[in-house]
A and B are shown apart, each in its own frame.
Chain A
Amino acid sequence: MILVKDNRCDFCGTCVAVCPVDAIELREADISIIHDTCIDCDICVWVCPIKVLSSDKPEEVKND
């Protein structure tokens, strides 16, 4: 699952642009992950310029 540090987000939309399944909802000052749609690919985690997003997967699984 993708975790969001809400109060850190700058609402820039970069993560939205790379999400392959459109699982991120972004308004003027509000971001949320649509967990039912999310496929846990972590691409959004990689691209965010200020590390707002993180994955709760354990490290070993992540490196698969």
Chain B
Amino acid sequence: MTDYDVIVVGGGPAGSMAAEAAAKGGAKTLMLEKDRDIGYPVRCGEGVGAAGLRKFIEPDPKWIATTISKVRMRSPDNTQVDFGLANAGYVLHRRLFDYELANRAGQAGAEIQTRAYVDGLIMENDAVCGVKYQYMGEQRSLRAKLVIAADGVESRVGRMAGMRTATKLKDMDSGYQATVGNIDVDQEMIDFYNGDVWAPGGYLWIFPKGDGMANIGLGVNGKYAHECHPHDMIHGFLDKYFPKARILTSVCGGIPVAKTLKLITSNGLMLTGDAARMVNPVTGGGIITGMVGGQLAGQVAAESIQSGDVTVSGMADYPKRWHKAEGKGHEAFYRIAQGIAEITDDQLNKIAHRLVKTPSDKLSLLKIFTAVAREKPGILLDVTRAFAGV
């Protein structure tokens, strides 16, 4: 006897999309979230591309903070290269956005429990058959035909089943972000500070949130986090450039800038979103890719339950469809990220000095990254592939 067809662990974008898709596919579905509140705390810059978002949900002013049409790329010496975005973007209110996605999962028939911390799996004959969890201090267990681990960066559920999900230090960005008020920034522009002076091995971002507010954060490569201390870097940056800004919220967070795990299924278990390492390794963006992965996981979960085969081979369509949807591009982005990591601040300055002479209507992300790739010809082809149409 099973209590549910599908149990989804984690109520982020990947989990909610998975729960919605599984429920829509006819599976009796439950989503468990350890925090008391879906969508909070927000460990995220909240930036997404409009095209990617629209594939899943019509943008709603309720959870859109600002609409982005311009990009500023800064070099280490603060040369500013500005251009328009061919495809607009948004800065979300993720607290409300994540709520909306969970709400849609609920409307599709999925049940939801918050304050439910999964601390073990029920395993039989090398297959996952359910979860053990704490609900408001009480130990419970539930049996399911299939478990979807959408438990974010920590990705412990996969480990409970013996999968190797630990990320290498060099593939993890250590992040810190402050949401600030009383700041005067262009509300239609996202602003990136590139180079080791701003954020060793990563970048610093300013994403406007409307009403004189903005998300100001950075990710530094895990190797440098201890010496440069992301918390101190953001505070130093604010003191120097925005002394009047007032911090309204601040959060830590890890951004897995890794390749998607080789194995994202095990018998009775699927991994998705950050837990499967689906984040774009160049941008650190994982909302949309997590939604792509989550939806695919939920769809294949429902299909596998219908066909009665939840083994790795029965769920083979999941890794296949992920690879088709994002996998190839994702791997190109990973190679680009490795190439960029070797480019020095001097080289970045030189590139910016060249680009700043180009009229901004002739610039695009493809142009920028092509200019960068000239310093690392090995990634040129990947850049052309990955950024075509961006």
Q: B-contacting residues of A (Cβ < 8 Å)?
A: 10, 12-14, 16-20, 22, 26-28, 43, 45-51
Whether B225 contacts A49 by the Cβ 8 Å rule is yes
In whole angstroms, how far apart are the Cα atoms of A12 and B174 in the complex? 10
Instruction: Give the A-B contact count at a CB cut-off of 8 A.
Output: 87
Contact A12 B253 (CB under 8 A): yes
Check B226 for interface membership: any CB of A closer than 8 A: yes
- Identify the interface centre among A16, A17, A19, A46: most chain B CB within 10 Å of its CB: A17
Contact A14 B166 (CB under 8 A): no
Q: A43-B169, A49-B253 are in contact. Are A13 and B153 (CB under 8 A)?
A: yes
**Sample of 5 more A-B contacts, CB < 8 Å, known A18-B167, A28-B115, A50-B229:** A16-B154, A17-B254, A28-B34, A46-B226, A48-B174
Q: Is B166's CB under 8 angstroms from A20's CB?
A: yes
CB distance A13 to B36 under 8 Å?
A: no
Interface string of B32-73 (1 = CB under 8 A from A): 001110000001000000000000000000000000000000
| Chain B residues whose CB sits within 8 angstroms of the CB of A27 once the complex forms | 34, 117
Give the CA-CA distance A55 to B35 in the complex, in Å: 29
Residue B251 interfacial (CB < 8 Å): yes
**Is the CB of B155 closer than 8 A to any CB of chain A?**
yes
Residue numbers of B with Cβ under 8 A of A are 34-36, 43, 115, 117, 152-156, 159, 165-169, 172, 174-176, 222-223, 225-226, 229-231, 251-254, 256
Residue pair B117, A16 in contact (C-beta under 8 Å) = no
Q: Would you give the shortest CB distance from A38 to chain B, in whole angstroms?
A: 13
- Kindly provide the distance from the CB of B38 to the nearest chain A CB, expressed in whole angstroms: 13
Q: CB-CB < 8 A to A48: which residues of B?
A: 174, 225-226, 252
Contact with A28, one of B36, B152, B165 (Cβ below 8 angstroms): B36
Chain A residue at smallest Cβ distance from B155:
A17
A12, A19, A22, A46 — most chain B CB neighbours (10 Å): A12
Known: A13-B254, A14-B253, A14-B254. A47 touches B176 (CB 8 A): no
Jot down 20 A-B pairs with beta carbons below 8 A, ordered by A: A12-B253, A13-B152, A14-B153, A14-B253, A14-B254, A17-B172, A17-B256, A18-B166, A22-B156, A27-B117, A28-B36, A46-B222, A46-B226, A47-B169, A47-B172, A48-B174, A48-B225, A49-B230, A50-B176, A50-B230
| B348 CB, min distance to chain A CBs, angstroms | 24
Task: Chain B residues near A46: list those with CB within 8 A.
Answer: 169, 222-223, 225-226
A1 to B167: give the CA distance in the assembly, Å: 21
Contact A10 B252 (CB under 8 A): yes
B226 and chain A: residue at smallest CB distance: A46
CB distance from A34 to the nearest CB of B (A): 12
**Is the CB–CB distance between B43 and A12 below 8 Å?**
yes
Residues of A within 8 A of B167 (CB): 17-18
Q: Nearest chain-B residue to A29 (Cβ)?
A: B35
CB distance from A37 to the nearest CB of B (A): 11
Q: Is the CB of B174 within 8 A of A14?
A: yes
CA–CA, A17 and B34, complex, Å = 17
Contacts known (A14-B252, A16-B154); A49 close to B172, Cβ less than 8 A: no
The reply to whether B166 and A19 form a contact with Cβ atoms under 8 Å apart is yes
| Contacting pair A47 B222 (CB below 8 A) | yes
> Which residue from chain A places its CB closest to the CB of B250 in the assembled complex?
A10
- What is the CB-to-nearest-CB distance from A15 to chain B, in angstroms, rounded to a whole number? 8
Which chain A residue shows the least CB distance to B164?
A20
